[in-house]
Structure formats: C-alpha cells, structure tokens
Amino acid sequence: MLSIRWMHILFGLIIAATFASCRHQIITPFNDDEFLPYGKLGTSTIQGQAFLKTRGGQVRYAAGNTVYLVPVTSYSRGIYSFREMPPTVDERLRIFIRTTTADGSGNFEFKNIPAGEYYVECGIFWEYYDGRRLAVTGDNVKIQTKLGPKQLLKVLLTKEIP
C-alpha cells in the first residue's frame, strides 16, 4: 500500500530520471535582477479555491494542502514549461516562493504580494479502493496570472479528471 507521500516522492523521481536522460538541455540561468521585485512586501492579495472535479461530478477540495505562489521569470518559466529542467533547482528560488495552506473547502489567500506575474499551484491527491487495493489519484492544478499594485485577485485552481 503506497501512501500519498510516497506517491509524490516516486512521481518526483520519475520526472527527475526523465529529464536526466535528456542530453541536450539549455538551462536558463538564475537571474537575480528578475527576482528582485518579488522579494519585497507588496500591496496586493490573491484569494482562491483549489479543487478537482471527477467525471462523476464529485468535488475533491485541496483541504489542508499547500498552495504555492512562484514568480514567473525566465528561470521559473523554463522549469514550468518542462522544456528545461536543471539537475537541481537553484536554492535562491526558495526565497521567492510563498506558500499557504488551503482550508477545509480548498480556500487560500496570499497577502502583501508585490505586483507581478505568478504561477499559483496546488497538488490534490487522495486514496481510494479500486476493488483490489488502495490506489492514489488526483492531479496538480496550476494557473499563471498577473497581479497589479493594490489589487485583489480571485482565482480558481481546478480541472476535471477521469
């Protein structure tokens, strides 16, 4: 029986092995100047809800899950596009990633965000019995959005899955 945590670890290893096998990768270098505006406190807020909808119409909320806010730069764009995957992610990126935890209904909020462009992402996974054993299903939900100064932006992180 694989727990959700082990499924995430296994998924990460599969992705890492896939990209390690790519011989001709162009890695966009980490550019401090692109990240500087994101290191300050801002005047904007992002509020949202994260959930998945099954084909049968059942809603699975991101209750208690971590929601990530990642600045869009040439470096992060290369990672998120899956065209460029560095062997290791530059440690400086961690300084600029903000996180929050979704409530029981999948609602989340980021306050004091500087204006800019962001990826907002959350993984939503759950276990179910498939008739023989416990299995894990779910997906990551992600959007890319722009945020102006003193803006309250409301977003939905969702998709339908089989």
CA gap 160, 47 in Å, rounded: 21
pLDDT tens-digit map of 127-155: 888 889 998 889 999 999 999 999 999 99
Please provide the CATH number assigned to the domain covering 4-161.
Answer: 2.60.40.1120
- What pTM was estimated for this model as a whole? 0.79
Residue 23 above 50 pLDDT? no
CA gap 88, 56 in Å, rounded: 39
Residue labelled with tokens 């440690």: 91
Instruction: Delimit the domains of the chain by residue range.
Output: 4-161
